[in-house]
Amino acid sequence: MLRIPAETQGDLEALLRLPVRGADGQLIPIRELVTLESDEREQPIHHKDLLPVNYVVGDMAGEVDSPLYGMFDMRSRLRALATPGGGTLQEYFVRQPDDAYRDYAIKWDGEWQITYETFRDMGLAYAVGLILIYLLVVAQFGSYLTPLIIMAPIPLTIVGVMPGHALLDAQFTATSMIGMIALAGIIVRNSILLVDFIRLEVAKGVPLEDAVVRSAATRAQPILLTGIAAMLGAMFTSTIRSSMGSPSR
């Protein structure tokens, strides 16, 4: 098996200069053994949803974790392109063009479609999970107001997640979304323990203000340990993922 270097594999002249050994032992370039003919090869015609399409594909690699950042970077450049006839290039993200035979349009697919469906499904699962948590807490405490107090800190996850990504110059990915959902579960669990501790103290005759202070002091260490454990687990996971290398697609 003969193989030319990777940097010259697209060069026809490099292939034709490749020597082979003849029957008499002399080296002969392949150019002297072949006849070059230029011709056109029939290209396959691709269809999707019964419409003719042209696929433009590319892989992402390097520092960018998600291909979406490369996609959004290309959008500004595509908008600057002038289409034949002076029109504008239309963009579609979640559906096909209304009239595929009018004007020029691009349908973002591939990784974007997968990411959109993933975040959509996880968002729905997140909402359903919050509703189920509310119903379970209502059943546990017998109150419609207490679950709202318990779940009130959940939006605070955004306060830590978004600035954290910006501070570390990290991209928001599906893993980040999963981390937010897990963090919401940790917050709800800690809130339930705090509220339950406060109720037990109040039942013993302790004033509400003192019960709140005692619950915070008692639960501070377990909450801190839980947070540190979650951070260390995420750090080791991120380190292992970085050492293995991020996927190109």
Residue (of 104, 101, 81, 80) closest to 91 by Cα position? 104
Residue 186 belongs to a domain: yes
Determine the longest span between alpha carbons in the chain, in angstroms. Answer: 107
* Residue that the structure tokens 């029957």 belong to: 23
84 and 188 assigned to the same domain = no
239 and 207 assigned to the same domain = yes
pLDDT digits (tens, 9 = 90+) for 103-133: 788 888 877 888 888 888 888 888 888 888 8
Of 109, 126, 149, the residue that ends a domain is: 109
Residue 130, domain extent? 114-244
pLDDT digits (tens, 9 = 90+) for 17-55: 888 888 888 898 888 888 888 888 888 888 877 877 788
Percent of the chain past pLDDT 70, that is, above it, reads: 90
Indicate which CATH number applies to the domain containing 134: 1.20.1640.10
Reported pTM: 0.56
What average pLDDT does the chain have?
A: 79
* Count of structural domains, the chain: 2
pLDDT digits (tens, 9 = 90+) for 72-81: 778 878 877 8
